[in-house]
Structure 1
Amino acid sequence: METSTETLEEVGSAESIRPFQFTFPQADLDDLNRRILATRWPEKEPVNDQTQGVPLATMKALAHYWATEYDWRKVEAKLNALPQFITEIDGLDIHFIHVRSKHTNALPLIVTHGWPGSIIEQMKIIGPLTDPTAFGGKAEDAFDVVIPSMPGYGFSGKPSTTGWGPSRIAYAWITLMKRLGYEKFLAQGGDWGGLITDIMAVQSPDNLLGMATNFPCTVPPEINNAAFAGAPAPDGLSAEEKQAYEQLSFSYKHVAYALIMGSRPQTLLATADSPVGLATMFLDHDQLSLALISRSFAGKSEGLTRDDVLDNITLCWLTNTAVSGYRIYWENKHAFVAPLGVKVPVVVSAFPDELYQAPKSWAEKAYPNMIYYKKHNKGGHFAAWEQPELLVNDIREGFRSLH
């Protein structure tokens, strides 16, 4: 990989921040193509649904498109058109995109991705957030946007020691924003990014003007425990709460990937050797996302295109960050969706095809300073990727009172 990293100093920084560009050697892309074509396939699954995991037909369609039509250079050019940087925090190189708005009084916003994601997830929201007047918004809705790659993901460094869990990442993000000259700022995230954003709000409430999440941590602990155990819905839940409980209970029955990554991430090292193996792991995050992605490879795109999916997987392959990305599950010590005690202003986006659609009643208790709540009728786990317009609108409307 060819990179450019000459040193420069940014305002408010006592540490070097290095501009970053990259071009992967054609030999790496040729090797990827060779490996895809050499895939040894198993027989078709003996069921006609997703109950045994990712369907063979989906993976064959993905592999065929990946090897014969997909063009990595398109997304590489889009990424290199964005201002990217690397800076060392706590002994680790952190890669990030930093787009300053041309509008005055833009609010600084750090946005965090999750797994199986990367900065690719957030590319569709950068323009609308930083240049709202070009996307149907108002100048006063502008943000300076910072999108870091989590440790072990993309172009960030891979931790060689333990300890890089969500809490340490949250501290690193506070350090990053201060280094960029932002003493007070906003934060947004989904999946791991949602949990990290909640932790930032608890750890550094004086720095966070507010936070937004599309992966809300709202489930009362006793309800979360019951759902994880597969118990029937507790008595006394409203219809909306019962639906959320059933969604959560279903999700917990289908997180085999999280269980093995949380206990034996190194056992999955074969996904660093097989691109189709890696893609299969990435597709099986949750049942509804898998169905959505399967439809995209069957000719029906609904928010996520084939290129969207393969841009993210290919970035992981080329940076060899499959196993290093899994390790955050092993490092994590927090419940995924339980309240953490956030007191700062909160914007909640509740999507129906998320692992659970957070009821307003739970969100109000988990976030006593919730300033905006929107229950959407479409969209799933990868909100910035699948439904960028809806998410951008929530961020704009939710934070408008903080400008």
Structure 2
Amino acid sequence: MPSCPVQTSLQFRLFKLRTKLCSCSLDFIYFAMANSFNIGILVLVIGGTTWVIEAQVLTLPQLDPDEWWGPAELQGDTNTTIRPFRIQFTQKMIKDLKSRLRNRRDLTPPLEGIGFEYGFNTQQVDPWVKYWTEEYDFKEREKFFNQFPHYKTNIQGLDIHFIRVKPKVPASVKTVPLLILHGWPGSVREFYEVIPLLTSPADGYDFIFEVIVPSLPGFGFSDGAARPGLGPIQMAVIFKNLMARLGYDKFYVQGGDWGSVICKAMATIFQKEVLGFHTNLMSAVNSCSEIKVLVGAITASQQLTLNQTQRNVFTDYIEETGYFHLQATKPDTLGVSLSDSPVGLLTYILEKFSAGIRLDNRFRPDGGLYDRFSEEQLIDNLMVYWSTSCITTSMRIYAEAFSTAHRALRIDDLPTPVPIWNLVAKNELLNQPPNLMKFPNLLGGTVLDGGHFLAFELPQPFSADVFKAVKAFRAFHEARTEL
């Protein structure tokens, strides 16, 4: 298959033509898709329904680098300096939180013999509430959060929070900038064990990282948008502007979950600025991936040609992504209950961590939450959401990312020449194969026995892989320079 130009690609518009009593295998569909670059229209028959795929040429979207996301009345009157920031857990907030935890209603008991199959097992609530109320040391954890330098700066109307750690190294060791982005329901807390490893010399490497770890807009200590439209692609612009303000016109990016989506957009739009993209969630919403999920879901539900393993993959995907639909359609309704009840927030987020670590945790009474994390670590992450009351604004990223306007940009249908490194977690449900991506310079990959929150779960092998990837990125650019 011929490679696509860097600035353009082909989009496939899918629509139903007519119904016909026949079916076709997944192998045929993928073969047809691979050869469809050479034709304008392709007809497929999937599960008895005939579809037409129409090819269109795409170009990079033109985004306003100064698009305003803050309150309209503040436009042109913001402080764009970089200001020190300190995380605080106030006594008023702590008192209110403990009162809500202690005065919750009685919960509905779980069904007999059930683990986490129906969601968070309510028999597990009391131990977590007791720990949060009586054992979690708020002041000590506040000190822990502030061990790294924190800052805020206003970008496009939003105060963006970030951690910035500059290593102290001899002149013989080169310092390179690395932007690390989290996702939902994570936070900057995911990287606290990773930051010291990335900012310390590693054997076999002549470079070290200056680490910049922001809170995504609407997450944690960063402002949320005042109006609709701030999706991952627009966030890519914000973070490119952040790096420019910090003095970097070239840098590396790392991301998982939504952080990966944003980094992928950065690598596609800002091809000269992004020197390399390390991801622990290879995913895209493009024509090929949408057809794969669509066909997989149809065939799994009808138990057509898939074997048991394939059926499990697609049925698991359907079962575990219900929250996608809720948060992509009515995040504010859901946000009311989660903002009002810390117990609700705890069960909602920790259930996602349970399944994210390993899907088999659904069948365990404790959800497997203690396998990878301590109670302290998971409550730390909850505190980022509760202390800032950001759960509603954090969930809006789903609504923006799956909006018609955002999807129309078709960023995942465009290739990027930026070198990529794929860190695969064995227990990652959402990971997609690289052949669905537009990554002509996928340099390599690694497989780790972890889950969705890989930096948080396995900080040492994660950090080692980032070093390995950036070494490959640097060699890639040196080879191109020599040519």
The residue aligned with 2:428 is 354
Greater shift, 97-106 or 280-289, is seen at 280-289
The Cα offsets for residues 84-106 of structure 1, whole Å up to 9 and x where unpaired, read as 11000011100000111223411
The residue aligned with 2:198 is 129
Distance in 2 between the 1:246 and 1:314 partners? Answer: 35
Distance in 2 between the 1:301 and 1:118 partners? Answer: 19
Q: CA deviation at 1:300?
A: 7.3
Q: CA deviation at 1:340?
A: 4.9
Does residue 401 of the first structure (1) align with residue 472 of the second (2)?
A: yes
Does residue 392 of the first structure (1) align with residue 466 of the second (2)?
A: no
Q: CA deviation at 1:341?
A: 2.4
In structure 1, runs of 5+ residues without a counterpart are 1-13
Does residue 281 of the first structure (1) align with residue 355 of the second (2)?
A: no
Residues 251 and 274 in structure 2, CA contact (< 8 A), matched pair in contact too? yes
Greater shift, 325-334 or 339-348, is seen at 339-348
Distance in 1 between the 2:378 and 2:163 partners? Answer: 20
Listed as ranges, the matches of 1:1-20 within 5 Å are 15-20=80-85
Distance in 1 between the 2:305 and 2:210 partners? Answer: 44
Distance in 2 between the 1:163 and 1:397 partners? Answer: 36
Residues 283 and 431 in structure 2, CA contact (< 8 A), matched pair in contact too? no
The CA RMSD measured in Å over matched residues stands at 3.0
TM-score, scaled relative to structure 1: 0.86
Does residue 24 of the first structure (1) align with residue 89 of the second (2)?
A: yes
TM-score, scaled relative to structure 2: 0.72
Greater shift, 118-127 or 287-296, is seen at 287-296
In structure 2, runs of 5+ residues without a counterpart are 1-78, 475-483
The residue aligned with 2:227 is 161
The residue aligned with 1:9 is none
The verdict on how the C-alpha distance between 1:170 and 1:294 changes in structure 2, with shifts beyond 3 A counting, is farther
Q: CA deviation at 1:303?
A: 2.2
Residues 217 and 339 in structure 1, CA contact (< 8 A), matched pair in contact too? no
Distance in 1 between the 2:326 and 2:469 partners? Answer: 37
The verdict on how the C-alpha distance between 1:171 and 1:300 changes in structure 2, with shifts beyond 3 A counting, is closer
The Cα offsets for residues 26-79 of structure 1, whole Å up to 9 and x where unpaired, read as 221121111111111322122513221111122222112111211233332122
Q: One-letter code of the match for 1:43? A: T
Does residue 379 of the first structure (1) align with residue 450 of the second (2)?
A: yes
The Cα offsets for residues 185-207 of structure 1, whole Å up to 9 and x where unpaired, read as 00000000010010000110110
The residue aligned with 1:231 is 298
Residues 17 and 86 in structure 1, CA contact (< 8 A), matched pair in contact too? yes
Distance in 1 between the 2:293 and 2:138 partners? Answer: 41
Higher radius of gyration, 1 or 2? 2
Greater shift, 70-79 or 295-304, is seen at 295-304
Residues 257 and 281 in structure 1, CA contact (< 8 A), matched pair in contact too? no
Listed as ranges, the matches of 1:56-135 within 5 Å are 56-103=122-169, 104-133=173-202
Give 2:442's match in structure 1, choosing from 356, 365, 370: 370
The residue aligned with 1:39 is 104
The residue aligned with 2:48 is none
The verdict on how the C-alpha distance between 1:114 and 1:298 changes in structure 2, with shifts beyond 3 A counting, is closer
The SS at the match of 1:142 is: strand
Identity of aligned residues (%): 31
Listed as ranges, the matches of 1:308-323 within 5 Å are 308-323=377-392
Greater shift, 222-231 or 272-281, is seen at 222-231
Distance in 2 between the 1:243 and 1:284 partners? Answer: 24
The residue aligned with 2:240 is 174
The residue aligned with 2:393 is 324
Distance in 1 between the 2:259 and 2:369 partners? Answer: 28
Give 1:272's match in structure 2, choosing from 322, 339, 343: 339
Q: One-letter code of the match for 1:322? A: I
Q: CA deviation at 1:322?
A: 1.1
Residues 217 and 337 in structure 1, CA contact (< 8 A), matched pair in contact too? no
Q: One-letter code of the match for 1:324? A: T
Distance in 2 between the 1:339 and 1:190 partners? Answer: 19
Distance in 1 between the 2:373 and 2:294 partners? Answer: 29
Listed as ranges, the matches of 1:282-297 within 5 Å are 282-285=349-352, 287-289=355-357
Greater shift, 144-153 or 252-261, is seen at 252-261
Q: CA deviation at 1:308?
A: 1.1
Q: CA deviation at 1:80?
A: 1.3
Distance in 2 between the 1:386 and 1:301 partners? Answer: 11
The SS at the match of 2:213 is: strand
Give 1:253's match in structure 2, choosing from 316, 319, 328: 319
The SS at the match of 2:160 is: strand
The Cα offsets for residues 219-239 of structure 1, whole Å up to 9 and x where unpaired, read as 8744543435623379999x9
The SS at the match of 2:327 is: helix
The residue aligned with 1:144 is 210
The verdict on how the C-alpha distance between 1:91 and 1:49 changes in structure 2, with shifts beyond 3 A counting, is same
The SS at the match of 1:231 is: helix
Q: One-letter code of the match for 2:357? A: S
The verdict on how the C-alpha distance between 1:357 and 1:67 changes in structure 2, with shifts beyond 3 A counting, is same
Distance in 1 between the 2:304 and 2:248 partners? Answer: 47
Residues 261 and 329 in structure 1, CA contact (< 8 A), matched pair in contact too? yes
Q: CA deviation at 1:295?
A: 7.3
The verdict on how the C-alpha distance between 1:296 and 1:172 changes in structure 2, with shifts beyond 3 A counting, is farther
Q: CA deviation at 1:118?
A: 0.9
Greater shift, 72-81 or 296-305, is seen at 296-305
Distance in 2 between the 1:220 and 1:163 partners? Answer: 19
The verdict on how the C-alpha distance between 1:174 and 1:325 changes in structure 2, with shifts beyond 3 A counting, is same
Q: One-letter code of the match for 2:283? A: C
The verdict on how the C-alpha distance between 1:297 and 1:245 changes in structure 2, with shifts beyond 3 A counting, is closer
Q: CA deviation at 1:337?
A: 12
Distance in 1 between the 2:411 and 2:194 partners? Answer: 24
Residues 194 and 214 in structure 1, CA contact (< 8 A), matched pair in contact too? yes
The SS at the match of 1:117 is: coil
The Cα offsets for residues 365-384 of structure 1, whole Å up to 9 and x where unpaired, read as 642201121122x1100011
Distance in 1 between the 2:313 and 2:140 partners? Answer: 37
Q: One-letter code of the match for 1:39? A: R
Q: One-letter code of the match for 1:396? A: F
